[in-house]
């Protein structure tokens, strides 16, 4: 299906997980049918761009006014051609401590793509979309940033563009992975996704939820 312009085709609600899994049950999904991505503590953001126009929203279809200057994030360079692209990812805006021990801000982490080169990828599998992203943005765990110097990560992939990163994908051993990443403030846990699931239309806020499961770190409840 063609996606010809933002004005004509409009907003697409991003896929979001609704089902929950406690950490103690991760092993039952470690069966070859699922993959995992880190769940980052930020704001879910779909990006619409053709390299010239740029539209930035949250998952509630609200424009993000705080991104008016985009803090040097090279969103427009995500358009490989002059056609339209829609990426979904996490905008780090909460100042959570990352792997390097500093507060992470003003980074966009891609974890899915919905429109590629003017084509709305309805019916494509998750694996196909992630392979597409990997072909353009190969996962590199280190980069020398223009403004940040050397950056090295265990659970974050760097790209060639300032402020643009990609979520790594893990194929198994979810319980051990969970134990590792929840030690870092920036990571809320894991999102498990069915590898062979197919993208459906994002016409409403609750969409594409049946192939995703979130496993969040426990929060402490204090009694006073």
Token duo for residue 19: 């089902």
- Note the Cα 101 to chain centre separation in Å: 21
Alpha-carbon Rg for the chain in angstroms: 17
Q: Given this model, what pLDDT does residue 197 score?
A: 97
Q: Given this model, what pLDDT does residue 183 score?
A: 94
Distance in angstroms (rounded) separating the CA atoms of residues 182 and 7:
40
**Contact, 84 vs 111, CB < 8 A?**
no
What pTM, to 2 d.p., does this model score? 0.92
User: Is the CA virtual torsion 49, 52, 56, 61 positive or negative?
Assistant: negative
Closest by CA position to 45, among listed 107, 102, 137: 107
Q: Given this model, what pLDDT does residue 141 score?
A: 78
Token duo for residue 128: 């196909």
**pLDDT tens, residue order, the chain (224 aa):** 999 999 999 999 999 899 999 999 999 999 999 999 999 999 999 999 999 999 999 999 999 865 555 668 999 999 999 999 999 999 998 899 999 888 998 899 999 999 999 999 999 999 999 999 999 988 887 777 666 677 789 999 999 899 999 999 999 999 999 999 999 999 999 999 999 999 999 999 989 999 999 999 976 543 43
Token duo for residue 15: 């896929």
**Contact, 167 vs 89, CB < 8 A?**
yes
Distance in angstroms (rounded) separating the CA atoms of residues 218 and 21:
11
Q: Given this model, what pLDDT does residue 223 score?
A: 44
Query: Number of C-alpha atoms within 13 angstroms, CB side, residue 159?
Result: 23
Distance in angstroms (rounded) separating the CA atoms of residues 158 and 160:
7
Name the one residue in this structure whose structure tokens are 């062979």.
Answer: 196
């Amino acid at each position: 299906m063609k996606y010809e312009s933002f004005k004509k085709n409009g907003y697409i609600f991003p896929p979001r997980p609704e089902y929950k899994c406690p950490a103690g049950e991760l092993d039952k999904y470690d069966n070859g049918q699922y993959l995992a991505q880190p769940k980052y503590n930020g704001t879910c953001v779909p990006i619409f761009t053709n390299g010239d126009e740029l539209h930035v929203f949250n998952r509630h279809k609200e424009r993000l006014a705080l991104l008016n200057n985009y803090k040097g994030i090279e969103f427009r360079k995500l358009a490989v051609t002059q056609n339209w692209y829609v990426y979904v990812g996490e905008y780090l805006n909460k100042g959570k401590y990352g792997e390097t021990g500093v507060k992470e801000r003003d980074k966009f982490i891609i974890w899915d793509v919905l429109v590629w080169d003017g084509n709305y990828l309805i019916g494509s599998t998750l694996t196909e979309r992630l392979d597409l992203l990997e072909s353009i943005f190969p996962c590199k765990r280190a980069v020398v940033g223009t403004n940040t110097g050397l950056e090295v990560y265990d659970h974050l992939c760097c790209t060639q563009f300032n402020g643009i990163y990609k979520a790594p994908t893990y194929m198994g051993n979810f319980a051990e992975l969970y134990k590792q990443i929840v030690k870092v403030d920036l990571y809320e846990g894991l999102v498990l996704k069915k590898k062979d699931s197919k993208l459906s239309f994002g016409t409403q806020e609750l969409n594409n939820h049946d192939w995703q499961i979130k496993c969040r770190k426990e929060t402490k409840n204090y009694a006073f």
